Structure 1
Amino acid sequence: MLSLLLALQLAAAPPAVTITVAPAQVWLEERAGSHLNFDFAVQAGADSLWLQKVEVSVFDPGGALVLRKFIDNNGFSPSISIVSHRVFAPGQPALVFNPFDYFPPDVAVGRLRYAFEFRDARRTTVSHTVEVQPRRYQPRAALRVPLSGRLLVWDGHDENAHHRRLDYYHPVAQQVGIRRNFMRYAHDFVVVNEQGEMHRGDGKQNAQYPGYEQPVYAPAAGRVVAAYARQPDNDNGQDYFDPRDLVGKDPLLLYGNYLVLDHGQGEFSVLGHLRQNSLLVKVGDQVRADQPLARVGSSGSSYFPHLHYELRTAAELNAEGLPAYFRRFQLLRGHRSRAVGQGAVDSGDIIVVPPRR
């Protein structure tokens, strides 16, 4: 009887830790190597846990071990400190951004094994292993960057970008209804001059930015499924963005004035922070690739005039982000440049997109 009771108690006890991969389908973005953009949702069981080590083993498509790397709690400035969350309270999920986000071109990524090591209050080691099998993503829509001219990717989706580091377990995110990272692969495009400068003067006024009111084009053919145009542009210290609108009015007002295009086959483009009353299309319109849609503004959650662009799986707020590969642009590297037929861009890149005809 005692052994039966003990077995029942053990069966009813929650696991020491639960770790799930988010999103469930991990995409591999190719750009001078393999980039992985996903999170771990970690939830401690009955006891608090302190993360001590994360190790990744990379296996090629044939199953052979290619490399193994780790971060741990060793040293005066331990590498584990770069992890977004290290202390986990019982029953409270928290997000850990994948600390191994890039592998060079000579590493053939087939499967990854992540080994987590925690300690509880009794200094007992708790271990957990997660398997990840990413797939390479190729957009179905033939995308082009939605602006022309010399552009800086002011913030993209690398490990340090705010788009990438959207913690949807944060209390504010939970309050406004954010449950997924819809901007996981987003870009903020800013028009710059030949010296790479984004604005004249002190940059406090929208008119000081050469990109302000520049035309925004359709990145590919599609149908307009959502739009908003009445939000005033933030300018000269005036901020008209109200986070309460995300709950009580429209969660897409995070982008201020916006357009959402349905390209079909599960791909949607979001174009945000558009100029007030600059939209040239409306919901239901079919648009062609490169068609003028609106103008660059600074509406919504925006510090200065720029275009926010993201590819995602649905029009509503809680979609998942998708990797975007753009066609026909020049990638600048100082005095050097190279033509890109199709490729990804990320934070810090300076590109030149030919004018539309």
Structure 2
Amino acid sequence: MEIRTIPKDYIINMSNEAHGNVESNFLLHGLKIKNDADKPVVLKQINMELYAAETFVKQVTYCDKALTNAVERFAHECTWLGGGFGAQLFLGEEGFWNTEEYSSSVTLMPNQETGLFNEYFVMVYKEMVDLLSVQVLYEMEGKEYKQALSIPLINYENKNNYIFPIEGCVSTCGNYNCLLDHRQHYSMEFAIDMAQYNKEQKLSFKENMQMEDYVIYGKDILAIADGEVIDCYPSIPITTSWVWEERLPYFKIYGLASQFGNYVIIQHANGESSFYGHMIVDSLTVKKGDRVKQGQVIGKVGHTGLSNCPHLHFQLMDKPNILTGRGLPCSFTNIKDVTGDPIERIMDDNIIVHTY
């Protein structure tokens, strides 16, 4: 039995200490189970065991009807994950699953496969969960077998010092605690959308607002650290449709910009890269190959690509590729919360931060 996971090497745990306990919060993007034997196998159980400092703390199990339903649902609903733009966007790669070999039942014929897609975990314990053990129990020719795979969980620490990409008072949303927003995408797992309220603490403050009416529209976007511009797109002029069939013609013309608008990707030291999206057309002040300094203006906040209102889409990655780069959490050296206390990471969805 072949077991593979995305991520394959380690999972980032957004752990948070509170009231003497630790909340562990992490995501398994993909679990692949493939029958690599020359005989049929029958899946009996999928166990996902959580450990903290070698102590077993919790088990999540698919068995009986739950397992049958999960396999059937995966076969019918996840056929788009085999290749193309969708597979890259959600998994960071193509070919992780072979959709032609999906099994719609718990009986897997030779080379057939199944899996789980985007399994979220939230666990409160006295210590951080630091290991996920996946165990697949199956039957072949009347005998029971077990195959296991363990993945370490880490609390990722940034390798560079970063400043916030917009100055002033900024409303943030869509972070990792908003499970059905950015987080389900491979490179966007820890992405943040940034907007600004007006003096009445409103984002939209009148009907039929134009882009220029939004407070954040046209604000300077700053490079979060020194680095090199690895990729950018300066000239998509439109906001595209949320319906894929309507966006597809623009995707063929503008490529990734039809999704992310005008954007900049900067590679920083120590293997970390930042991404800035939805900029105003032709507002970029940098081009591919330019060296930039921390705090340098690289463009202006806009409303291009797949955008519901003027805002900055920001994320950090382990390489300068918006599809195959792995999303990383980002700590900042110059933000505080609404009470005035300095904070490093934005741990909650829909909070306001101030730069200083």
- TM-score normalized by structure 2? 0.73
- 1:154 corresponds to which of 173, 188, 196: 173
CA shift, 1:81, in A, is 9.0
From the two aligned structures, give the one with the greater helix fraction: 2
1:111 aligns with 2:113: no
Matches within 5 A, 1:123-142: 129-142=148-161
Could you list the per-position Cα deviations for residues 104-147 of structure 1 after superposition, in whole angstroms to 9, with x for gaps in the alignment?
47323332324456899xxx998654312123321122112211
CA shift, 1:197, in A, is 2.5
What's 1:37 paired with? Answer: 27
CA distance, structure 2, for counterparts of residue 84 and residue 276 of structure 1:
45
1:59 aligns with 2:42: no
CA distance, structure 2, for counterparts of residue 260 and residue 116 of structure 1:
40
CA shift, 1:326, in A, is 1.6
Aligned in 2, Cα 1:249/1:79: closer, same or farther, shift over 3 Å?
same
What's 2:266 paired with? Answer: 261
Could you list the per-position Cα deviations for residues 200-230 of structure 1 after superposition, in whole angstroms to 9, with x for gaps in the alignment?
2236532332111111111111111211111
Q: Alignment partner of 1:134: what SS?
A: strand
CA shift, 1:97, in A, is 1.6
What's 2:86 paired with? Answer: none
Matches within 5 A, 1:1-357: 15=1, 18-32=3-17, 33-45=23-35, 54-60=47-53, 63-65=54-56, 67-70=57-60, 89=103, 91=112, 94-100=115-121, 102-104=122-124, 106-115=126-135, 129-158=148-177, 160-166=179-185, 181-193=186-198, 196-202=201-207, 205-234=210-239, 242-244=247-249, 246=251, 250-251=255-256, 253-316=258-321, 317-332=323-338, 337-354=339-356
CA RMSD of aligned residues (A): 3.9
Number of aligned residues: 314
CA distance, structure 2, for counterparts of residue 320 and residue 287 of structure 1:
22
Could you list the per-position Cα deviations for residues 227-265 of structure 1 after superposition, in whole angstroms to 9, with x for gaps in the alignment?
11111142999x9x8445556754355211001111122
Structure 2 residues not aligned, in runs of 5+: 18-22, 76-101
CA distance, structure 1, for counterparts of residue 172 and residue 46 of structure 2:
33
CA distance, structure 1, for counterparts of residue 350 and residue 214 of structure 2:
18
Q: Is the 8 A contact 1:187 1:346 kept in 2?
A: no
Q: Alignment partner of 2:342: what SS?
A: strand
CA distance, structure 2, for counterparts of residue 351 and residue 19 of structure 1:
39
CA shift, 1:99, in A, is 2.7
CA distance, structure 2, for counterparts of residue 235 and residue 96 of structure 1:
27
Q: Report the AA paired with residue 327 of structure 1.
A: T
Aligned in 2, Cα 1:55/1:23: closer, same or farther, shift over 3 Å?
closer
Aligned in 2, Cα 1:200/1:54: closer, same or farther, shift over 3 Å?
farther
Q: Is the 8 A contact 1:234 1:298 kept in 2?
A: yes
Q: Is the 8 A contact 2:240 2:250 kept in 1?
A: no
Q: Report the AA paired with residue 130 of structure 1.
A: L
Q: Report the AA paired with residue 139 of structure 1.
A: N
Task: Using the aligned pairs only, state the percent identity.
Answer: 19
My pick for the range that moved more, 128-137 or 219-228, is 128-137
CA shift, 1:341, in A, is 4.7
CA distance, structure 2, for counterparts of residue 115 and residue 257 of structure 1:
44
CA shift, 1:183, in A, is 1.5
Q: Report the AA paired with residue 226 of structure 1.
A: D
Q: Alignment partner of 1:207: what SS?
A: helix
Aligned in 2, Cα 1:99/1:251: closer, same or farther, shift over 3 Å?
same
CA distance, structure 2, for counterparts of residue 94 and residue 107 of structure 1:
29
Aligned in 2, Cα 1:318/1:125: closer, same or farther, shift over 3 Å?
same
Could you list the per-position Cα deviations for residues 265-296 of structure 1 after superposition, in whole angstroms to 9, with x for gaps in the alignment?
21111100011111122222221111121111
CA shift, 1:299, in A, is 0.7
CA distance, structure 2, for counterparts of residue 64 and residue 127 of structure 1:
21
CA shift, 1:308, in A, is 0.6
Q: Report the AA paired with residue 43 of structure 1.
A: I
Aligned in 2, Cα 1:286/1:109: closer, same or farther, shift over 3 Å?
same
Q: Report the AA paired with residue 134 of structure 1.
A: L
- TM-score normalized by structure 1? 0.72
Q: Report the AA paired with residue 56 of structure 1.
A: E
CA distance, structure 1, for counterparts of residue 352 and residue 181 of structure 2:
19
Q: Is the 8 A contact 2:275 2:316 kept in 1?
A: yes
Q: Is the 8 A contact 2:44 2:137 kept in 1?
A: yes
CA distance, structure 2, for counterparts of residue 43 and residue 350 of structure 1:
42
Aligned in 2, Cα 1:71/1:212: closer, same or farther, shift over 3 Å?
farther
What's 2:81 paired with? Answer: none
Q: Alignment partner of 1:199: what SS?
A: coil
CA distance, structure 2, for counterparts of residue 85 and residue 246 of structure 1:
29
Q: Report the AA paired with residue 231 of structure 1.
A: I
Q: Report the AA paired with residue 42 of structure 1.
A: K
